[in-house]
Amino acid sequence: MDSNLFFKKLENQFTNKLPFVAYKKPNENTLFSLLQNTEALHILRDFTSSGFVLAPFDSSNDTVIIPLEDSECIQSDYHKSNNVDVNSLEKGELYDSNQRDHHIQLVSKGINTIKEGHFEKVVLSRVDMVKLQENNPIELFKRLLDNYSQAFVYCWFHPKVGLWLGATPETLIKISNNYFETMSLAGTLQSQVNLAQWSVKEKNEQQIVTDYIVSQLQDSTAALHVSDPKTVQAGNLVHLKSLIYGTLKSNNLEHIVNALHPTPAVCGFPKEPAKQFILKEEGYDREFYTGYLGELNFKEQISRNRNRQNIENNAYSAIRNVSNLFVNLRCMQLKNNEALIYVGGGITGDSEPEREWQETVSKSMTIKKALY
């Protein structure tokens, strides 16, 4: 489909207050959208359904699905519009000192609780509010697409839930039949650095995530590999990332997702005490921030080799069951002409509260660039 028509269809869907999601996967050039036919709110009941899911941080709340069977699926080639100069959008920020003090206090409390031995790591976050100058979400979606080609960029709307947009660098899990791929992503610095410049704090913060993912997947995998950590770019920031991949013993998606989510990249370690600390101390509801979202049980056609003799075998292997789930980071919710921007960072015993505050300011800038 022509991209003008693609975006027009999103605009119509939004004007008609019908649910939709539009997205582009990292480093790919195709835009996808599911346009739900009715305004029904579908809750994910089990992981055999097919559709686009949006799950909250707190798994005791509902996961929403836009089911494939109730949606028109459209796609289009994506071409960068080239008229957005990211650097020219850089702006100085003025923060209300209350906001800063509150975050510094929260982080200090996290550090003290770690030092008392209650957990090793906790991810603490806050929400920034910005008055919208551009309040057409489709235009904001285009700006995110233009700026963050390496991210999973999305715009998600449901009249009964709200409107979320984001450009996340983090994969929760990709599964294609029995093959899986995930990542341990943590540690943040401002610009491109080589590995030697990462401090012990950041290396340790990321290692906790790697160890957790490996231990959680051990029983479900037939083969599991971990790459060495590499520095990867995410907008104006860099993170440490290790790929974790291999084959699953069986494709029990629900078990695997529940084993991973929420990882110590967004919650902490050990998971339960860190999660309880977050729910009690952060002082606001994360909702879908640090939840996950993406394609669940999509069927992918494998291109057939026409020269192959064994037609039966070809027919058997022609469809793959694919899920592509991403962690909902660098995201915002649009509400009452305001953008609520969600940002956080991993805290360990070596964290410095002022640096953690600055890290959230930098992360928030990633999204603000699309708003100005």
CB of 125 to ligand ISC, least distance (A): 6
Q: x/- binding map, residues 89-128, to ligand ISC, per CB under 6 A? A: ----------------------------------x-x---
Residue 266 makes contact with ligand ISC by CB under 6 A: yes
Q: 19 vs 110, which CB is nearer to ligand ISC?
A: 110
Among 363, 367, 369, 371, binds ligand ISC (CB under 6 A): 363
- Closer to ligand ISC by CB, 74 or 104: give it: 104
User: Which one of 19, 187, 262, 294 is in contact with ligand ISC (CB under 6 A)?
Assistant: 187
Closest by Cα among 249, 238, 241, 253 to 209: 241
Size of residue set near ligand ISC by CB under 6 A: 17
* Residue 285 CB, nearest approach to ligand ISC (Å): 15
Residues within window 221-250 making contact with ligand ISC, judged by CB under 6 A: 239
* Position 278 contacts ligand ISC (CB under 6 A): no
Rg value, the chain, Cα: 21
Of 199 and 247, nearer to ligand ISC (C-beta) is 199
Judge whether 47 and 257 are in contact, CB under 8 Å: yes
Closest to ligand ISC by CB, 67 or 169? 169
Distance (Å, whole) CA 48 – CA 157: 23
Q: Residue 113 in contact with residue 273, Cβ under 8 Å?
A: no
Looking at beta carbons only, is 80 or 95 nearer to ligand ISC? 95
What tokens does 273 get? 């005490």
Choose between 239 and 261: whose C-beta lies nearer to ligand ISC: 239
Out of 265, 332, 334, 370, name the contact with ligand ISC by CB under 6 A.
265
174-210 exposure pattern, b = at least 16 Cβ within 10 A, e = fewer: bbbebebebbbbbbbbeeeeeeeebeebbebbbbbbb
Tell me the residue type at 357: W
Separation of alpha carbons 186 and 242, rounded Å:
9
* CA 186 centroid distance within chain: 13
Position among 31, 55, 329, 332 found at the interface with ligand ISC (CB under 6 A): 329
Query: For 94, what's the count of Cα atoms within 13 Å in the CB-facing half-sphere?
Result: 0
Residues ≥6 apart with Cβ < 8 Å to 53: 44, 63, 64, 65, 292, 293, 294, 296, 325
Q: Compute the least distance from the CB of residue 210 to ligand ISC, in Å.
A: 12
Is residue 51 part of the contact set for ligand ISC (CB under 6 A)?
no
Q: Which is nearer to ligand ISC, 251 or 263 (CB)?
A: 263
Q: Specify the residue, 16 or 227, whose C-beta has the smaller distance to ligand ISC.
A: 227
Among 344, 357, 369, 371, binds ligand ISC (CB under 6 A): 344
**Please, what is the minimum distance in Å from the beta carbon of residue 170 to ligand ISC?**
6
- 8 Å CB contact between 142 and 7: yes
Which stretch, 16-24, 29-37, 79-87, 344-352, contacts ligand ISC (CB under 6 A)? 344-352
| DSSP for residue 43 | B
Check binding of 291 to ligand ISC (CB under 6 A).
no
Please choose, from the candidates 86, 103, 98, 90, the residue with its C-alpha nearest in 3D space to the C-alpha of residue 358: 103
Q: Contact, 273 vs 118, CB < 8 A? A: yes
Q: Is the CB of 111 or the CB of 329 nearer to ligand ISC?
A: 329
**Side-chain half-sphere of 257: how many Cα atoms within 13 Å?**
28
Measure the N-to-C terminal CA separation of the chain; round to a whole number of Å: 30
* Token output for 81: 């519009």
Distance of closest approach, residue 254 Cβ to ligand ISC, in angstroms: 24
Whichever of 130 and 322 has its CB closer to ligand ISC, that residue is 130
The residue ranges that bind ligand ISC (CB under 6 A) are: 123, 125, 170, 185-188, 239, 265-266, 329-330, 343-346, 363
